[in-house]
Chain A
Amino acid sequence: MSNLFKNILFLIFVLIPGKVHSEIDVREQANRVVNVSHQNAKIFAEYLAIRDFEKVLLGVQEAMEKKAIGGGSEYNQVINQFNQSRSELKQTSQDLFAQLSRSSVSTDAFVEVWQKYKNLVRQRFQLSFQVQKLVYDIDLEYRELELQLQGFEKLCALGRSDLNAPRVSPNQSSPSYNIQSHYNFEISFNVGQNGQSNRFGANAQPQGIDPKDSNLKNGFKIMGVVSAAVGTVFPLAYIGVGVALAGVYTIDNVEEGDRIHDKMVAMGHQMQSIATDKDIAFYYKNYCGSLAKEVRHFVVELEKFRSSAEFRESRSKKIADRQELRRKFFEDKQAYSVYLNRASLAYLIKDAQCEKSKEIASQQKLKCYLENTNYYALGFDQIVLPSDSVKRKAIEDTDLTAIESYKKKYPPETIRLLVSDLVLYNLGLDWENFINRVFNFTFIELDRQMSAVYNQISSLFRQMRLVAEAKAPTFSKKYPSEQRVLKEFDELKEIHSDLVLTKSRLIFAEGDPVVYRKNLDAFAKRLDSFSKVNKIYPEVIEFSSNARLLIGMD
């Protein structure tokens, strides 16, 4: 990546149409084209990789910043709402209890109260799910961030060649509670203005780091502006694959004979070896390893920060210590994006890809145009270069020096460290306490109250059934409580069965005859009185007469 723009310029000088002189041996020229195409593919791949790296880190940072979990103003508000709902349910429960405690409740009134109780059960159930969903959402968002980071690692392992495809950008998320996290990767060009700074700066201050520290606060604010300006407006893909074919167009149609034959052979050779999309993907993959390592480090840190209080404390201190470095980084980054885009514009100018007016450029969907004495990037009017090549060269030289210096100052490891500072800052020291607050949200008191209400309902229901049964013409009045008769009858049979067993043992001189005799007498008395009362039932009469055989055996 270090010589990106020097190489761009080299390429331009070598390959732009018309610069290929007929004296140069065509084979040599083809070789040069091939070599340069590979160089360019590599440069482009590295550019893509570092861009993806920054994009994913800053994307995570930006998404995290919007959550405000540590400060938790929005989530705390939600918990307050839960508390409020629980209080309301308690009140409803108390009201129901009072209603049920009144001396008389009609059937209709009972049904009404019962329905209210069922609604209470539903609301209580619902509230527990809402509390649970809050912690689920928080976890889901973290998982998405981690996946986003892991997505970069996957991409590195595969390689890529395409600048425009929306790789490593997360889906839109739409959690409830109005806590939105739109992971917006739209790159807008807003150099030198702070139109969007409020949007980023207005988030709640996380706890764990002194929110009164205004320097620190400002240090965080500026980052938002810069993250929005990361990237470039120009399709550098041209460098990699398009221009490398320039050699093909150098055939002069008026040339004939051996001359053209040589050229064709050279071009055939060139076509065999010239860099393609596949080569870009290969170079991307090669370069990406070191960046993926940084991303992995970030994932591990994120997890450690969530799980270890000790790590949170030590890391938070370092975060505070690096505030000046961080502030400077985002400032530099903002400037860097200007240099980068201006260098891209310079390249397009040299490749003759600019139109003569904004209108034509728009129609042709080209990226740059000439107006008066300046070249402009379409849609990004702040990026300007003079048409005068000498003046332009001076600006280009300055830009290239600045770009090189930025690269040296901020290697991937430094970028990762500074961005992860911000992510962890937003995660906040208080994170665990917050989760515990949610987990400690209980329903003990409400459940106790509801249980009391249900007991009332249940007992009232029993009373109503008793009243209803008394009124009902069942188990008739003619035969008073046949159920009770049956119960006693079964008991007598059971005693009889036991006596038969004891007797059968006694016959063979096992057991105590005195106890048996005593039990038999008791049985006989009970059977007598039972038979007298229930002699209307044939089954009772039959049992009674047979049982007397046992009684009379001795």
Chain B
Amino acid sequence: MKFLIIALLFSVQTWAQMQIKSDFSGTSDATYVIVNEQSNTTECYGSAARDSSHSSGQQKLSIVSGNQQLNSNGVLKWVARLATPFSVQARLLTLHASGSLSEDKSTILVSVAQYFQPAKNRIHEDHCGDTIGYLHQTNGNLSGLLEAKFTNPAGSWLVKLNRQATTGIFAENYLQSTKGSLMDPHFTKGKLPEEFLWVKPEAQLAFEYSFKDLLLGVNEIGRLHLDLEPVKYVVEVELPADPPTPAQVRDGITPERKKEKIKSPYLKELKENLHSLTTQDLNDDKNILKWVEVFASVFNEKKNMAEISKSLYGDQILKISNRLFQLANAVIPNQRYGLLFKTSAAVASFEMANWLIEEIEPLCKVVTVVKPLSETKYQEMGFKAVSTFLDRAHNRVSKYNLAAYGPLLNKLSQLSAGKVTYGQANADPELRKQLLAIIRLLQTSVRMNDNPFGLASRDLLTISKSYSDLSRTPEWTTELISSLNSLGFQEQEFVANLSTLVLNIESPQSLDKTQIQIPGMNERLAKLISGRSLIQKNMEKQLRLLSLVDFSGPELPLIDRLMHLISHQVAVFEKPFRVEDMPYFEPIRAAYVENKNLTERSKKLNECLQTWMK
């Protein structure tokens, strides 16, 4: 008799789930004998029909399910019972399931064991003797299936499967299928102690073990131990050891250094070490796997691409993407992990290219804008219109030099330190001339620019009316405009206060004896300078178009970058290969493209490029 048991482990967690499905059956040949061991005393003579109570015979026993749900200890039981002529639990099959889930690793543990009842069973006992049943079982066979299912975490494409601790029948050839993996069965033999599987995010990965009529002869049938972890770059670091305990000092034991796994800066590897990486470096298994982990960090965790885009300019991302594409096209001198490395490099390269394209793509549309100087309306390709306004706003902010306030503030500080009064300053014709001249200069300067922050804010406002996708979230555009206005206001206020301070020398005599002081003015200037710098940085990172430009290096025209990406990174993803030509890569490509909705975007991009040629 077969029973289907589904045990759902840890269904609470939202990011991953595990399930175990099991179905066992089995028979054994049982031979039994019942023997009466009775006392020969007079009292007991004739108390039982000794001869008639002897019996022997054979039966075929089947195991049946005892319970259909895992109990609180995670145990399922199957029992084979001899019912007549005496009742005994002849064979017990137990399945013990447990599992653990964390963000980094899912583990399923299942152990299956059988137990044959000892041969001697006391059936009846009284003062005149015992009735004993002997049971002997042979050919205790077992059939069954066991399915262990994982749900791949969201965002995860590449997972490492480890089954090194699996034993018994689960370590042998009874794995019938690995469902849910994107990979051709050729690449997932199911026996390798460690494998890297490509799986769609949130897809179910099922390992089905099936066996029939096994005559095992052992109690410990097997232990299934599957660890599944999304691949990412994690480094183990050694922490300082705890100070030795008195007992350790006495015994001369040095405490062991602790180890801790930290998520390492994959970004640092991409930025600093990727370009010097040669294919020869990849001969070493440890090294090549490190790089696979670095690449997988790019596409296995959604938040990482956001981090990359915040930390790097588009040009830097483009360079990394191009380097990855080169590596994906190389022949890697590592037999075991070469395909894995190439595919990871291709996917990471595409992920980055895709991010760049997402940034550029909205700029393809034609928008109506007001010309900055003539203030007449015109229609323009998004690229140009946006770049005109953003370049201008960026220039206003980045080139604005607040250092001009420095000499005046220095002078005022000196006067303040020297406890000079307004009256004394007024009485010094040279000083009076200097102060009035500089304040006039600064007032003029700030007025005539109307000031740069305000103008930059106006530029952003103008272009955002025609083009709403300036930044990835509209909040950032609003935030930038508001920050610029606020900074402009602060500057004007600062200049006004500075002017009042200086012009006090011309004020009525009431202030003559008052010492010149500049309370908080240096700090306010420092705040203005840092505010300018921060806003410049935010513009460069948050405004799509500016974020594509590496301000420290030569800029490649956006349209050329787009063309390059479409001709290379996108080209290898946008159309299917024949599976027989690319059995490893094609299923992964197909799933990845579907997930990224590339078809739609690819069409738009081609249209965009062609618009430029007509």
For chain B, what secondary structure do more than half of its interface residues adopt (helix, strand, loop), or is it mixed?
mixed
B138-178 vs A, Cβ < 8 Å mask (1 yes, 0 no): 11100000000000000000000000000110011100000
Q: How far is the CA of A248 from the CA of B31 in the complex (A)?
A: 9
Instruction: Assess whether A132 is in contact with B342, with CB atoms less than 8 Å apart.
Output: yes
User: Which residues of chain A in 453-472 are interfacial with respect to chain B, using CB atoms and an 8 Å cutoff?
Assistant: 454, 457-458, 461-462, 464-465, 468
Instruction: Assess whether A271 is in contact with B31, with CB atoms less than 8 Å apart.
Output: yes
A461-B613, A486-B392, A539-B373 known; A175-B217 Cβ under 8 A: no
Q: How far is the CA of A539 from the CA of B220 in the complex (A)?
A: 89
A161-B217, A265-B35 known; A135-B613 Cβ under 8 A: no
Residues of the A chain whose Cβ atoms lie less than 8 Å from the Cβ of B613: 107, 110, 461, 464-465, 468
Q: Is A313 an interface residue (CB 8 A)?
A: no
Q: Is A483 an interface residue (CB 8 A)?
A: yes
Instruction: Assess whether A151 is in contact with B172, with CB atoms less than 8 Å apart.
Output: yes
Residues of the B chain whose Cβ atoms lie less than 8 Å from the Cβ of A245: 31, 136, 138
Residues of the B chain whose Cβ atoms lie less than 8 Å from the Cβ of A237: 215
Q: How far is the CA of A341 from the CA of B406 in the complex (A)?
A: 106
Instruction: Assess whether B571 is in contact with A122, with CB atoms less than 8 Å apart.
Output: yes
Q: Is B274 an interface residue (CB 8 A)?
A: no
A128-B342, A147-B191, A508-B434 known; A121-B403 Cβ under 8 A: no
Residues of the A chain whose Cβ atoms lie less than 8 Å from the Cβ of B566: 118
| Contact for B331 among A164, A442, A508, CB less than 8 A | A442
Instruction: Assess whether A504 is in contact with B441, with CB atoms less than 8 Å apart.
Output: yes
Residues of the B chain whose Cβ atoms lie less than 8 Å from the Cβ of A441: 331
CB-nearest residue of chain A relative to B343?
A129
User: Which residues of chain B in 429-465 are interfacial with respect to chain A, using CB atoms and an 8 Å cutoff?
Assistant: 434, 437-438, 440-442, 444-445, 447-450
Instruction: Assess whether A547 is in contact with B448, with CB atoms less than 8 Å apart.
Output: yes
| Contact for A497 among B333, B401, B410, B411, CB less than 8 A | B401
Instruction: Assess whether A462 is in contact with B560, with CB atoms less than 8 Å apart.
Output: yes
**In this complex, which of B172, B392, B408, B610 has the most chain A Cβ atoms within 10 angstroms of its Cβ?**
B172
User: Which residues of chain B in 390-441 are interfacial with respect to chain A, using CB atoms and an 8 Å cutoff?
Assistant: 392, 395-396, 399-401, 403-408, 410-411, 434, 437-438, 440-441
B6-32 vs A, Cβ < 8 Å mask (1 yes, 0 no): 000000000000000000000000010
CB-nearest residue of chain A relative to B613?
A464
User: Which residues of chain B in 449-493 are interfacial with respect to chain A, using CB atoms and an 8 Å cutoff?
Assistant: 449-450
| Contact for B572 among A121, A273, A276, CB less than 8 A | A121
Residues of the A chain whose Cβ atoms lie less than 8 Å from the Cβ of B37: 265
A161-B216, A271-B135 known; A482-B339 Cβ under 8 A: no
Residues of the A chain whose Cβ atoms lie less than 8 Å from the Cβ of B339: 129, 132-133, 136
Instruction: Assess whether A256 is in contact with B51, with CB atoms less than 8 Å apart.
Output: yes
Q: Is B56 an interface residue (CB 8 A)?
A: yes
Q: How far is the CA of A272 from the CA of B403 in the complex (A)?
A: 101
User: Which residues of chain A in 132-160 are interfacial with respect to chain B, using CB atoms and an 8 Å cutoff?
Assistant: 132-133, 135-136, 138-140, 143-144, 147, 151, 154-155, 158-160
| Contact for B407 among A256, A489, A504, A546, CB less than 8 A | A504
Instruction: Assess whether A277 is in contact with B559, with CB atoms less than 8 Å apart.
Output: no
Instruction: Assess whether B134 is in contact with A267, with CB atoms less than 8 Å apart.
Output: yes
Residues of the A chain whose Cβ atoms lie less than 8 Å from the Cβ of B185: 174
CB-nearest residue of chain B relative to A107?
B613
Q: Is A435 an interface residue (CB 8 A)?
A: yes
Q: How far is the CA of A278 from the CA of B217 in the complex (A)?
A: 4
Residues of the B chain whose Cβ atoms lie less than 8 Å from the Cβ of A168: 172
Instruction: Assess whether A490 is in contact with B392, with CB atoms less than 8 Å apart.
Output: yes
A158-B167, A176-B580, A272-B134 known; A553-B336 Cβ under 8 A: no
Q: Is A498 an interface residue (CB 8 A)?
A: yes
Q: How far is the CA of A121 from the CA of B571 in the complex (A)?
A: 7
| Contact for A260 among B34, B54, B215, CB less than 8 A | B54
| Contact for A439 among B333, B380, B441, B577, CB less than 8 A | B333
Q: Is A520 an interface residue (CB 8 A)?
A: no
Q: How far is the CA of A490 from the CA of B452 in the complex (A)?
A: 11
Residues of the A chain whose Cβ atoms lie less than 8 Å from the Cβ of B119: 271-273
Q: Is A166 an interface residue (CB 8 A)?
A: yes
For chain A, what secondary structure do more than half of its interface residues adopt (helix, strand, loop), or is it mixed?
helix
Interface-side segment among B101-109, B541-549, B582-590 = B582-590
Instruction: Assess whether B404 is in contact with A160, with CB atoms less than 8 Å apart.
Output: no
CB-nearest residue of chain B relative to A159?
B218
Instruction: Assess whether B216 is in contact with A553, with CB atoms less than 8 Å apart.
Output: no
| Contact for A276 among B116, B396, B442, CB less than 8 A | B116
A122-B572, A276-B116, A553-B441 known; A160-B216 Cβ under 8 A: yes
A268-B120, A500-B441 known; A248-B56 Cβ under 8 A: yes
User: Which residues of chain B in 359-400 are interfacial with respect to chain A, using CB atoms and an 8 Å cutoff?
Assistant: 371-374, 376, 378-381, 384, 388, 392, 395-396, 399-400
Q: Is A111 an interface residue (CB 8 A)?
A: yes
Q: Is B614 an interface residue (CB 8 A)?
A: yes
Instruction: Assess whether B192 is in contact with A147, with CB atoms less than 8 Å apart.
Output: yes
Residues of the B chain whose Cβ atoms lie less than 8 Å from the Cβ of A202: none
Residues of the B chain whose Cβ atoms lie less than 8 Å from the Cβ of A117: 567
A222-249 vs B, Cβ < 8 Å mask (1 yes, 0 no): 0000000000000001000110010010
Q: How far is the CA of A98 from the CA of B445 in the complex (A)?
A: 60
Residues of the A chain whose Cβ atoms lie less than 8 Å from the Cβ of B171: 151, 154
Distance to closest chain A CB from B400 (angstroms): 7
Instruction: Assess whether B582 is in contact with A507, with CB atoms less than 8 Å apart.
Output: no
Q: How far is the CA of A164 from the CA of B380 in the complex (A)?
A: 79
Instruction: Assess whether B567 is in contact with A497, with CB atoms less than 8 Å apart.
Output: no
Q: How far is the CA of A251 from the CA of B33 in the complex (A)?
A: 12
Q: How far is the CA of A72 from the CA of B23 in the complex (A)?
A: 46
Residues of the A chain whose Cβ atoms lie less than 8 Å from the Cβ of B139: 241, 277
Q: How far is the CA of A536 from the CA of B411 in the complex (A)?
A: 41
Residues of the A chain whose Cβ atoms lie less than 8 Å from the Cβ of B449: 493
Q: Is A103 an interface residue (CB 8 A)?
A: no
Instruction: Assess whether A490 is in contact with B395, with CB atoms less than 8 Å apart.
Output: yes
Q: How far is the CA of A264 from the CA of B215 in the complex (A)?
A: 29
A464-B613, A468-B612, A547-B448 known; A125-B132 Cβ under 8 A: no
Instruction: Assess whether B332 is in contact with A132, with CB atoms less than 8 Å apart.
Output: yes
Q: How far is the CA of A549 from the CA of B218 in the complex (A)?
A: 102
Distance to closest chain A CB from B556 (angstroms): 10
Instruction: Assess whether A474 is in contact with B379, with CB atoms less than 8 Å apart.
Output: yes
Instruction: Assess whether A540 is in contact with B373, with CB atoms less than 8 Å apart.
Output: yes
Residues of the A chain whose Cβ atoms lie less than 8 Å from the Cβ of B214: 162, 165
Instruction: Assess whether A276 is in contact with B137, with CB atoms less than 8 Å apart.
Output: yes
Instruction: Assess whether A261 is in contact with B448, with CB atoms less than 8 Å apart.
Output: no
Q: How far is the CA of A159 from the CA of B373 in the complex (A)?
A: 89
A154-B171, A268-B35, A468-B614 known; A475-B407 Cβ under 8 A: no
A245-B138, A268-B35 known; A504-B442 Cβ under 8 A: yes
CB-nearest residue of chain B relative to A124?
B329
Instruction: Assess whether A277 is in contact with B140, with CB atoms less than 8 Å apart.
Output: yes
A139-B336, A143-B192 known; A274-B342 Cβ under 8 A: no
Instruction: Assess whether A482 is in contact with B371, with CB atoms less than 8 Å apart.
Output: yes
Instruction: Assess whether A267 is in contact with B33, with CB atoms less than 8 Å apart.
Output: yes
Q: Is B271 an interface residue (CB 8 A)?
A: no
Distance to closest chain B CB from A90 (angstroms): 15
A170-B173, A468-B614, A500-B445 known; A507-B135 Cβ under 8 A: no
CB-nearest residue of chain B relative to A462?
B560
Q: In the complex, given contacts A260-B51, A474-B380, A550-B444, what are 13 additional A-B residue pairs having Cβ atoms less than 8 angstroms apart?
A: A128-B331, A144-B189, A264-B33, A267-B33, A268-B35, A438-B331, A458-B563, A475-B380, A500-B445, A539-B373, A546-B444, A549-B441, A549-B444
B interface, CB within 8 angstroms of A: 31, 33-37, 50-51, 54, 56, 116, 118-120, 132, 134-140, 167-168, 171-173, 185-187, 189-192, 213-220, 328-333, 335-336, 338-339, 342, 346, 371-374, 376, 378-381, 384, 388, 392, 395-396, 399-401, 403-408, 410-411, 434, 437-438, 440-442, 444-445, 447-450, 559-560, 563-564, 566-568, 571-572, 575, 577, 580-585, 609-610, 612-614
A-B contacts, 10 of them at CB < 8 A, read: A121-B568, A164-B213, A173-B189, A261-B54, A265-B35, A276-B136, A278-B217, A447-B329, A482-B373, A537-B373
Q: Which 6 A-B pairs rank lowest in CB-CB distance, beginning with the nearest?
A: A161-B217, A546-B448, A277-B217, A162-B215, A281-B217, A139-B335
